[in-house]
């Protein structure tokens, strides 16, 4: 079984919640033509999604996404009615999305709000956090809470209410605490002894939304084994 095969966490006639592995694209990208994606897997397993969504030809059933290098929970609509309901919840910021993120350096404040708008950086597919008033920059809101501090890195639980491209990565980079394993928004310099991570330390651990029956449903996914193991390289600190 391929390590890039998604895992089904929950399945109903209206939606499916999957655990996306790191390294798998959610949908086709111009930068990776012909590469197998989550959408390819979805169409094979749930062919009805081909008629669902605002752009079913390229993003069938897809209401939100995760970066290729990230892992974690995603909900995919199997019916147009569920798609529209999820879309409204995303627009109204009533969907609860939480991530575990390891960043470089010591984050001093135990929690914080980042509200820097995000727009294109103009090169290499990168995005950038801007001051308000910059043309084409869109509102972005990221809340973080420190869960643990280690020598040289900090583990955060991050909640976002907007879904901008690379949002968490861009906001952490703007705070001068880049995400560990990020090659697009990298730390300027780390010591030779710093352990190498061949993926992004960003995992969607919690997802909650309201279903068509009006019930609030919640899903959780612990850190993948490779991320849990990676933390053991660092010594915990209490301050």
On whether the CB atoms of residues 122 and 130 are closer than 8 A, the answer is no
CB atoms within 10 A of CB 91: 9
SS3 string of the chain?
Answer: CCCCCCEEEEECCCEEEEEECCCCECCCCCCCCCCCEHHHHHHHHCHHHHHCCCCCCCCCCECCCCCCCCEEEEEEECCHHHHHHHHHHHHCCCCEEEEEEEEECCCCCCEEEECCCEEECCCCCCEEECCCCCCCCECCCEEEEEEEEECCEEEEEEEECCCCCCHHHHHHHHCCCCECCCCCCCCCCCCCCCCCCCCCCEEEEEEEEECCCCCEEEEECCCCHHHHHHHCCCCEECC
Positions annotated as catalytic residues are 67
Strand partners, 142: 114, 160
Question: What count of Cα atoms within 13 Å lies in the side-chain half-sphere of residue 188?
Answer: 4
């Amino acid at each position: 079984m391929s390590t890039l095969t998604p895992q089904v966490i929950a399945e109903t006639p209206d939606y499916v919640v999957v655990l996306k592995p790191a390294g798998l694209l959610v949908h086709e990208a111009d930068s990776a033509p012909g590469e197998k994606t989550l959408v390819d897997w979805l169409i094979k397993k749930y062919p009805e999604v081909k008629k669902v969504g605002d752009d079913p030809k390229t993003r069938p059933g897809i209401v939100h996404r995760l970066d290729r290098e990230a892992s974690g929970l995603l909900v995919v609509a199997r019916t147009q009615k569920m798609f529209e309901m999820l879309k409204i919840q995303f627009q109204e910021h009533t969907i609860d999305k939480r991530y575990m993120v390891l960043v470089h350096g010591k984050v001093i404040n135990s929690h914080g709000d980042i509200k820097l708008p995000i727009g294109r950086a103009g090169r290499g597919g990168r995005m950038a956090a801007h001051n308000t008033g910059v043309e084409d920059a869109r509102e972005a809101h990221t809340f973080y809470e420190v869960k643990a501090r280690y020598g040289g890195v900090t583990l955060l639980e991050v909640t976002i209410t907007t879904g901008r491209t690379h949002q968490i990565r861009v906001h952490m980079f703007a705070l001068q605490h880049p995400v560990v394993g990020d090659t697009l928004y990298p730390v300027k310099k780390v010591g030779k002894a710093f352990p190498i991570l061949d993926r992004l330390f960003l995992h969607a651990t919690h997802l909650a939304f309201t279903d068509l029956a009006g019930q609030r449903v919640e899903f959780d996914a612990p850190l993948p084994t490779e991320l849990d193991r990676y933390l053991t390289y660092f010594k915990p600190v209490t301050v």
